[in-house]
Amino acid sequence: MSTILTHIAITDGKIKRSSLEVLSHCKTIGDASGASVEAVVVDAKASSFVEGIQKYGAAKVHVVEDPIFKNHMNAPLLKALSKVMSDVHPSVFAFASTEGTKDVLGALAANQDAAVIADVSSFELSDGGVTAKRPVMAAKIMNTTVAKSDKVLVSVRSGSYDLNESPTTAEVVNVDFSMDDSELKATLREIISASGDTIDLNEAEAIVSAGRGVKDEEGKALIAELASLLNAGIGASRALTESGVYDPSLQIGQTGKVVSPQLYIAVGISGAIQHVAGMSNSKVIVAINKDPDAPIFEVADYGIVGDLYKILPPFIEEIKKIKS
């Protein structure tokens, strides 16, 4: 029987929701094809996540636990994933597309001589491999990519699939793992984290995103107030991360994060194609911009033409009223 394996990513001590989205989809296609659906979790506290994983229907959870995985480093992660692949021989190994995954996906494919399709928005099993759809050309075009191989790696954009619980009692397989410092190759000196309790943009139900129109502390305060009111993550256009107004990890777009929340509020963002590539899959888009011809209005469900400094205060007040 063939095996479909899903990698469960852990960041900040939590399971990435996007990994569970991928596992939910793997469970669906696994059940339909009769394949065994399994998961692998690699973390310093990997075993503590088994319970959260079996809710989504993995028949086996491969646990690779070692203190070395406290922070992301590619050499140990690559070694762990290669070992699990060699042990399990999955026909499909699926990942959520995160910066951590992107760091090792190509290397893992090369190491295991596997076919690989990165950053897809959907995939299915097909004759002799996997067929996937992926956005290309700055997300203006979708292509269909077919991988023919008995081992296919695939990474999936967040928000591509719904979560779907189907609780099982998973068999837990503890994977032997050890690594000498000499194998590390690189040294992680430090991590400069984005400030405090920011909400992970890939997981956020709502995102308030700031662009060039947000000019000063007053503008930032309005963004923060609206975000806190909606329990939303804060994002930014490249112009504002590059000029240091917002942390680089908050950049949304082709080169930053690709997001798909239920509600995306673009404030003072003109809507350059690179930005739209990162947010056009949001369910509902609201745009606030004083230029009525700004391209952001072409993708917005609700476009408010006006100065954000005049629009946001009553907008916030009205939402407060609705919420109370």
Partner 1 sequence: MVPDVYAPIQIKDGELIMDGDRMVLNAYDASAVEEALVLSEKHGGEVEVVCIGPAKASETIRKALAMGADRATHILATGEEEFDSASYAKILSAFFKDKEYDVIGLGKQSQDTDSGLAGSMVAEHLNLPYTTNAVGLEFEGDKLIVKRQGDTGQEMIELPTPCAVTCSNDMNDPRIPNLKGIMASKRKPIDQVEISSLGIDEGSLKADTTVTSYEEKPARQAGKKYEGEAEEIARQVAQFLDTEANVL
Based on the shown chain and the rule CB under 8 A, indicate whether residue 137 belongs to the binding site for partner 1.
yes
Among 191, 196, 217, 324, binds partner 1 (CB under 8 A): 191
Closest residue by Cα to residue 316 from 291, 286, 284, 295: 286
Closer by beta carbon to partner 1, 221 or else 319: 319
Paired residues of 287 in beta bridges: 266, 303
CA distance 140 to 158: 18
Q: Write out the binding residues for partner 1, residues 282-301 only, by CB under 8 A.
A: 283-286, 292, 297-301
Based on the shown chain and the rule CB under 8 A, indicate whether residue 175 belongs to the binding site for partner 1.
no
Residue type, 61: V
Closest residue by Cα to residue 83 from 122, 115, 47, 40: 40
CB of 71 to partner 1, least distance (A): 8
Among 44, 146, 179, 199, binds partner 1 (CB under 8 A): 146
User: Which span (23-31, 37-45, 109-117, 207-215) binds partner 1, by CB under 8 A?
Assistant: 109-117
Among 1, 169, 178, 189, binds partner 1 (CB under 8 A): 189
Quick check: 121 and 134 in contact, CB under 8 A?
yes
Name the packing angle between helices 74-88 and 99-112 (round to 10°): 50
Closer by beta carbon to partner 1, 116 or else 170: 116
Among 32, 142, 163, 224, binds partner 1 (CB under 8 A): 142
Using the CB atoms, write b or e for 242-279: b if 16+ within 10 Å.
Answer: eeebbbebbbbbbebbbbbbebbbbbbbbbbebbbbbb
Based on the shown chain and the rule CB under 8 A, indicate whether residue 57 belongs to the binding site for partner 1.
no
Q: What is the DSSP string of 141-169?
A: EEEEEEEESSSEEEEE-TTSS--------
Among 32, 136, 172, 224, binds partner 1 (CB under 8 A): 136
Over the window 241 to 260, marking each residue x when it contacts partner 1 by CB under 8 A and - when it does not, the resulting string is: xx-----xx-x--xx-----
User: Which span (35-43, 51-59, 136-144, 159-167) binds partner 1, by CB under 8 A?
Assistant: 136-144
CB of 321 to partner 1, least distance (A): 8
User: What is the 8-class DSSP label of residue 91?
Assistant: S
Q: Write out the binding residues for partner 1, residues 198-237 only, by CB under 8 A.
A: 206, 230
Based on the shown chain and the rule CB under 8 A, indicate whether residue 6 belongs to the binding site for partner 1.
no
Among 45, 51, 70, 140, binds partner 1 (CB under 8 A): 140
**How open is the CA angle 164-165-167, to the nearest 5 degrees?**
150
Residue type, 8: I
Based on the shown chain and the rule CB under 8 A, indicate whether residue 69 belongs to the binding site for partner 1.
no
Among 98, 160, 209, 270, binds partner 1 (CB under 8 A): 98
Based on the shown chain and the rule CB under 8 A, indicate whether residue 167 belongs to the binding site for partner 1.
no
CA distance 263 to 285: 6
